[in-house]
Amino acid sequence: MILAHIVWIPLPEPVGKGKITWSVLICLFRPYFLPESNEATGHRRRQILVDFYRSNRVRAAATWICVGITWLANLYSPLLLGKAGKNLSNGKYADASINVAAYGLFNIVGHMAGQAQGLIYLTVAQSAFVEISEEVFGHLHALSLDWHLQKKLGEVMR
């Protein structure tokens, strides 16, 4: 079982040498979607960790909401520009100006939601990086000395 205390489920056995399945990848990168703790900031009290755990999950969910808003705004804004063109060709200048203003608004909202997504997700990504780094560090220290000696890292080969 790799990452058992983080993932809550055992990882599936590898299919073959050098092959990795989607379920293994999802388990390995789970901290980026459902972060667990606030080790990056150095808080050690239990209640602070529990509160941050919840807020990181809220931040991860809010990131996906921002992705949806960005996608919808970027999808709908060209349609408004097309309506403005049709209204201009029909001589409805007031409707065309409203559609152009709505196009600009949806375009701005799409860009703002994309920027908000990056800001919201920043602490989630930092926390996930710390979780994965700790797991890799622990895994490397759990390997036998013989494995480390056979690896020959840093040795010059001819």
pLDDT, average across residues 7-23: 60
Per residue in 96-155, pLDDT (tens digit) is 999 999 999 999 999 999 999 998 888 888 888 888 888 888 888 888 888 777 777 766
Report the pLDDT value the prediction gives residue 7, as an integer from 0 to 100.
42
Three-class SS string for the chain?
Answer: CCCHHHHCCCCCCCCCCCCCCHHHHHHHCHHHHCCCCCHHHCCCCHHHHHHHHHHHHHHHHHHHHHHHHHHHHHHHHHHHHHHHHHHHHCCCHHHHHHHHHHHHHHHHHHHHHHHHHHHHHHHHHHHHHHHHHHHHHHHHHHCCHHHHHHHCCCCCCC
Q: What pLDDT, on the 0 to 100 scale, is given for residue 127?
A: 81
pLDDT at 37: 52
pTM higher than 0.75, yes or no?
A: no
